[in-house]
Every structure is written in C-alpha cells, then in structure tokens.
A and B are shown apart, each in its own frame.
Chain A
Amino acid sequence: MSRLAPLELDQIEDPELRDLITQCVELGVPDELFPRIIARVPAQAKTLLGVMLELHTKGTVDHQLKEIIRIQLARFVDDPYFSALRSKKAMDAGLTEERIDAGCDDYEDSELFTDAERMALRFSDQLFLDPDKVDKIFYDQMREYYTDAQIMEIGTFLAIYHAAHLFMKTLNARPLAA
C-alpha cells in the first residue's frame, strides 16, 4: 500500500478532476492511484494530470516511442509503480514487451528501432544518468531526426515523468491492479 493513501473516489467531487481520472484509467498511465493521491490538492492535480495526459498522448512524437521512453525512465530509478503500468493505447497499437525490454536495454544494437528512435532512447538514457553527455553536439545530432519542437516535446515529457517516478518511488507505491 502506498505510504500516502489515495482519496476514495466519492471524496473527489470536482467533475473536471473526476473526468481526468477517467482519462488516466482509460489510458492506463497513470492508473487510478496516482491521481487519487494528488487529488488531495485538486487545483494542482487537475493541472498536472492535464499536462501528463497531453504530453503522453498528443504532440507529433510517436506515442509508442514515448511509452518505451517512459518505462525506460521508470526502470532506471526502480520505481515499481510506473514501471508496471502500460499505455493501453500503445499496446493496442502493437507495442510489445519485447520492444519495451529492448528499449530499456540493448536499443543501440536492436533491429527493432529506427535510427531516429535510437536517438530518442539515447536522449532519455543519458539526460538524467549522465547529463554532461547531452551537450551541443548531442543536440546537433538529435536535430538530424527531430525538429526543435519535437525535442522540446520529448524533453518536457522526460522531465515530468522522471520526477513523477521519483515521487512515487518514495511512496513505495504499486499499481492498484495486478
């Protein structure tokens, strides 16, 4: 059980927040637990959940790639909650556990990824583990595959989810459903 108890659903009265929680459950990331924990502060929870859903499901960067990146980050910090979650949208579109595992491990040598995807995986791999490597040369290489807007989209996605993984790890949280 999470160190910080989630609110019961009937304690969450704000219809906009309840709708965002429904959207999270439908996507699968996050599941109901994270939103019900942060629902203690409704105004901020609505903003954060809206941003997380927007970053994960909208934009021009492939959703399956972002899902692999998200899981790679969660595994880096050993966060059992976010590591176990899967985007139903990504899985329904054909994302496999084999591809997820490859993205978290031997993506550089894997034939399951394009050069552009490897570049994005390298970005998420190194940004928090070895940020000094993410320098001007790195970004110049990244711009061979991505626009500035896409780099911002990926970087912002990484920034938000990396910190969310760290927060949930401190709560010792697990997904609500197996």
Chain B
Amino acid sequence: MEATSLAWLAAGLGAGLGVIGAGLGIGRLAGSAMEGMARQPQAAADIRTGMIIAAALIEGVAFFGEIVCLILAFKS
C-alpha cells in the first residue's frame, strides 16, 4: 500500500472517529441541559446560553482532528 492510499484511508477513518467523539460529548451536554431546564424552568435561559457556549467549545476540539484529516485527504 502506498503512502497516499494510506493517507486517504486514515483521513476517512479519522473523520468518522472524530465525529463519534463530538457527537457523544455534545449529546451528553444536551441531555444534561434538557434535564436541568426541565427541573427548573426559570433557569432555562441561563442553561441554554451555557449549553450553546459549551457546545461551541467541544466542537472546536472536534475540529482540530477534522483539520488533520483534511490535510491528509488532500495529500498527493
């Protein structure tokens, strides 16, 4: 197997695994946020703001891996 083919394979696998991590993390976050909002509706606005900020930060981490996969995918 040449290096380029391995790079493309790694790009595909890495992208999928990165998405698993981000999905799990943000899913847990959203679940806890929903539960908190259900328990205390008057705190819903604060919880929602914190949830969106935390989701953006978790997504940032996932994007690091995706950028590495992009670099691999455009190898020639």
Bound pair: A and B? no
